[in-house]
Structure 1
Amino acid sequence: MNIAIVDDEKHCIESLELDLESLSLNHHIIYKTSKPMEALQELPKLKVDILFLDVEMPQLNGFELLDQLGEFDFDVIFTTAYSEYALQAFKNKAFNFLLKPVDVDELEEVLADWQKDNQKRAYLMNESAVKELLAKIKNEGFVKSKIAIPTVNGFEFLKTEEILYCQSENNYTKIFLSTGETKLISKTLKDVEKTLSNYMFLRIHQSYLINPKYLKQYNKTDGGYVVMDDGNSLPVSKQKRYLLIEFFDIISRS
């Protein structure tokens, strides 16, 4: 949970920081400022999940700041001493509204609601991605094609349908094939994922990209893992579980 705080009163920023620390959340305060004009320039550069935003500030109030930002992909929780701003806050698509001085119990409740809502949104996004993937499978089958991978002497062409999964090894990627061979290439897994984006591969973990054609089993125990057709078990990250569960669910209903 990446958090930013914009409040012209520095003691309010410090107080909110202490309240957040007391809740033992898995959070990072990646940006804080008492200068709204500075925030206008810096916020678009950051990957923020939640912005705690004061309303009454000099030069630029909270509503004006959001208006000038235009498009943004974080949730806003307004913090103010004036309850009359509540209606306007929700009209400005605020996730929630906290009165100063902030009550720690209310803060905890608001953040718990945000986590539930965020999980639901992630689930819906994953559901959409899986449905798109399955539509491609139904319409096109598992696409048979080749990709070029760099070698010392040039390039080697691999059949995408023979790739079981890819494993990240720092700035390299190891490709496991159905033939039992492995190929180590000087590309990051992120680059390989882009190359295979049209071939229905699933990113199940920061270190693994799999071909669902060879997916044999998903087990929820031990943090969650999949078993591939070659018998190897691969971990599934917490963020990707919804994607995989929805994948199996839609297949079972197809």
Structure 2
Amino acid sequence: MKLKVAIIDDEKHAIETLLFDLKEYHSNDIEIVFTATNPVEGLKKLHTEKPDLLFLDVDMPGLSGLDLVELMQDLPTWVVFTTAHLEYAVKAVETLASGYLLKPVQSDDLKRIIEKVKAEKQNKKTNQTVSGKIPVPDADGIELIPWDEIIYCKSDSNYCELNLTGERRIVASKTLKYFESNLPVSQFYRIHKSYLVNLHHIKKYLKHDGGELVMSNGKVLPVSRNSRDEILKRIL
């Protein structure tokens, strides 16, 4: 099955160049569902088209790529930032992005990203066959962790820290996006760019600033302003 791909970039020539490379070298693997030069219009299309993979420019007027990502947290889309500035690329990796491409995009880098997202999509399908558990690679193999034992997940660059019941803590070589994509949306919610929480382990909501959650292990986690209304709907 082909990956559904979208591109949002305020520079038309950048879209055209990336489109050419995708169609020329990856036509068997991808299907372009839309392109947009206006990030606000692009965000609207994301919610209707729901692509598997989004190539997203970082530096755009009005709504940057980093801002746009904050508004698409619930979408089942892998994000790859495209930028000419290395400092933006480094910052992008700290978000839920699957990676980044430096402009001008090199064919080997593009191939690597396509293969990575294809593999992650396949892993997501495979992972869903074990109901109620999520596979987490460790040094000895793969541990199947029950959903209910996960209190919250914390992003740590390209790694993720899982805080579990019984005061267990695991650092997994997977991004927060991986866990967000493979855990049930009815039970887990991303309250912040760095935190994914198990709704069953929330003990209290604290009303100040953007809001905070007290979890069952006593940890207090920040809630982003964009997530505040939704998390209140989920717990009330």
TM-score normalized by structure 2?
A: 0.52
Structure 2: distance between partners of 1:22 and 1:129: 41
Deviations 1:195-229 (A, max 9, x none): xxxxxxxxxxxxxxxxxxxxxxxxxxxxxxxxxxx
Structure 1: distance between partners of 2:97 and 2:103: 16
| Structure 1: gaps of 5 or more residues | 131-254
**Equivalent position SS for 1:29:** strand
Q: Percent of counterpart pairs with the same letter?
A: 37
Counterpart position of 2:95: 92
Counterpart position of 1:247: none
**Equivalent position SS for 2:129:** helix
**Equivalent position SS for 1:126:** coil
Q: 1:20 aligns with which of 14, 18, 22?
A: 22
Counterpart position of 2:85: 82
Q: 2:107 aligns with which of 96, 104, 127?
A: 104
**Equivalent position SS for 1:60:** coil
Relative to structure 2, which stretch is displaced further, 107-116 or 51-60?
Answer: 107-116
- Contact kept? 2:9, 2:15, Cα under 8 Å: yes
Alpha-carbon deviation of 1:40?
Answer: 2.0
Deviations 1:79-118 (A, max 9, x none): 0000101232122110010000000111001111211122
Deviations 1:161-190 (A, max 9, x none): xxxxxxxxxxxxxxxxxxxxxxxxxxxxxx
**Equivalent position SS for 1:108:** helix
Aligned length: 131
Structure 1: distance between partners of 2:129 and 2:99: 25
Alpha-carbon deviation of 1:27?
Answer: 1.3
Amino acid at match of 1:97: Y
Q: 1:52 aligns with which of 31, 38, 55?
A: 55
Structure with bigger gyration radius: 1
Matches for 1:122-161 after TM superposition, within 5 Å:
122-128=125-131
Structure 1 residue 42 and structure 2 residue 84: aligned? no
**Equivalent position SS for 2:131:** helix
Structure 2: distance between partners of 1:117 and 1:71: 17
Alpha-carbon deviation of 1:129?
Answer: 7.7
Structure 1: distance between partners of 2:99 and 2:73: 19
Amino acid at match of 1:77: V
Matches for 1:1-254 after TM superposition, within 5 Å:
1-24=3-26, 25-128=28-131
**Equivalent position SS for 1:56:** coil
Structure 1: distance between partners of 2:89 and 2:129: 33
TM-score normalized by structure 1?
A: 0.49
- Contact kept? 2:5, 2:34, Cα under 8 Å: yes
- Contact kept? 2:50, 2:75, Cα under 8 Å: no
| Structure 2: gaps of 5 or more residues | 134-236
- Spell out structure 1 runs of 4+ moving beyond 4 A: none
Deviations 1:112-164 (A, max 9, x none): 1211122112100123289xxxxxxxxxxxxxxxxxxxxxxxxxxxxxxxxxx
Amino acid at match of 2:96: K
Alpha-carbon deviation of 1:60?
Answer: 0.7
